[in-house]
Amino acid sequence: MSQSNIQNIIASGQTVLGIELGSTRIKGVLIGDDHTPIASGGFEWENRLENGIWTYSLDAVWTGLQACYRQISQSALEQHGVPLHTIGAIGFSGMMHGYMAFDERGELLVPFRTWRNTMTAPAVEELTQRFQFNIPQRWSIAHLHQAILNGESHVADIRYLTTLAGYVHWKLTGQKVIGIGEASGMFPIDSATHDYDAGMIASYDARIQEYNFPWRLRAILPRVLVAGEQAGTLSQAGAELLDPSGQLQAGVPLCPPEGDAGTGMVATNSVAARTGNVSAGTSVFAMIVLEKPLSKVHPEIDIVTTPTGKTVAMVHSNNCTSDLNAWVDLFAEFTQLLGVDISPSALYEILYRQALKGDADGGGLLSYNYLSGEHITHLEEGRPLFVRTPESRFTLSNFMRTHLFSALAPLKIGLNVLFEEEQVKIDSILGHGGFFKTKEVGQRIMAAAMNVPVSVMESAGEGGAWGIALLAAYMLHKKETNSLEGYLGDKVFSGQSGMTIAPVQTDVEGFTAFTEVYKRGLVIERAAVDALKTGMQAQAGGE
């Protein structure tokens, strides 16, 4: 697109903005009518462990959003010489699940409980049995029911329960709505009606009737919308909240707020049956669009939907690259002591590539990257752990290979259920996220874990912010196309290229061998969780 064309679409408000609140970064992209980014911005943030709860403050949410939007506006002005006053459409996305409960005045009742918390096991066990539907620990309904079981007094005061993306959308538009993909991480969805499962809603209301709460479940949940529907417009108060400079005009239409799983599917063109994608960063999850329902309930498999309501099998692991990044930071500190000037990206490149030189199974080394609990392996808390025997081949290449394997091991355990027990078939898997930044390495390790070819498209680096921008663009052009799949295939991804890496048999066998040792060694991780918790409590008591 020429500079003059870009200037014209910015000035005339024909751009589309997507912003996603990820686990470690809030990122936004402004796209033109050819769907390519013309301005971007971001804000680094991190969750905090407060009183045993992984959380972000509401102040951090708005500080980050405002900083991200300010960068986008400045980027548009500096690169194209045009101030950003109005936009054709906006979409907001965020990390899925969690618990944000508000009272009748719109005040947050308890600190935001993010997806990372694994504190709802009793609720999950009861609800999964009651619904005969897998309810993961991070889902909103699990957090709500656990709060009820805990006897938390705030529950009676709840008048609205939503997710991070739903909260941001509500404050900017006044609309208590949510995209169906995001909704499917709050409460089970009926893909036929594109709404919460009515039978399960009734069952839940019956279950909690004894508590005499002044609300019914449906009344406190956001209204469900599908991709292509308009979800309100930017209010004047919302415009001033997002852009305190006052330049941004109100009245911009917004698409339904979606979760990072849904935006990942869109950003990788993985919304049709037999397609799938895997997002690997702070957490890792694989999404497979199903041709038919699974034969039974599996605790390792979450059932969610695409942004249009198609059923998706999701394998989600709470932990992926955080511990791996910590080890790379340690190597960076060592290089600084040596007086070696090396960029973070170059260091990652060196260390990741070294992993390809290691023994197929990692040389007998073992690591657990659990900064937080891991539901797939039934650990309610995390203790990062590295283990080896005297016979292990302790080399740098094996060390790095082991940590890359460890980042994906719980995912592989869950996928084995999907591919081996349920015989789910897929035509393609596309990867995106920080795990794939080093060319070929992340793909090759992921291909070994999944035993299918893994592709990374040139556009995959744009991530979820681009994905939600595409959903906002689709809302504007829905009348011109038959479906989201058609829009993405014909208008967005047509002609795009990428790189595909097929699994190497020795890698597959090595990862399989590593996984067997990994499963046997989980008792070590369990002991670390129990022992260190007991030790810390004893120390605190002594003080």
pLDDT of residue 294: 93
Domain regions of the chain by residue span: 3-259, 269-543
Smallest Cα–Cα separation from 306: which of 194, 472, 432? 194
pLDDT of residue 479: 86
**H/E element holding 114?**
none
Quick one: CA dihedral 74, 78, 84, 88, positive or negative?
A: negative
Spatial distance between the Cα atoms of 492 and 505, rounded to a whole number of angstroms: 34
Count Cβ atoms within 10 A of the Cβ of residue 298 and give its class: 0-12 exposed, 13-18 middle, 19 or more buried.
middle
pLDDT of residue 542: 39
pLDDT of residue 437: 86
Q: Strand locations in 193-338, DSSP E?
A: 195-196, 223-225, 258-259, 275-280, 284-289, 302-305, 311-317
Superfamily of domain 3-259 in the CATH hierarchy: ATPase, nucleotide binding domain (3.30.420.40)
Contacts of 385 (CB under 8 A, 6+ apart): 367, 368, 370, 524, 525, 528
Same fold, 3-259 and 269-543: yes
* Whole-prediction pTM: 0.82
Q: What is the mean pLDDT of each run of 10 residues along the chain (543 residues)?
A: 90 96 94 94 93 94 98 96 96 95 98 92 96 94 98 98 98 98 97 96 98 98 97 98 97 97 90 89 90 91 94 92 95 96 95 97 97 89 95 98 97 92 87 87 94 80 85 94 90 83 96 97 95 56 39
Q: For residues 491, 496, 502 and 507, what is the CA-based torsion angle, rounded to 10 degrees?
A: -100
The single residue listed with the structure tokens 């957090």 is 143
Select 269-543's CATH number: 3.60.15.10, 3.30.300.30, 3.30.420.40, 3.40.50.300.
Answer: 3.30.420.40
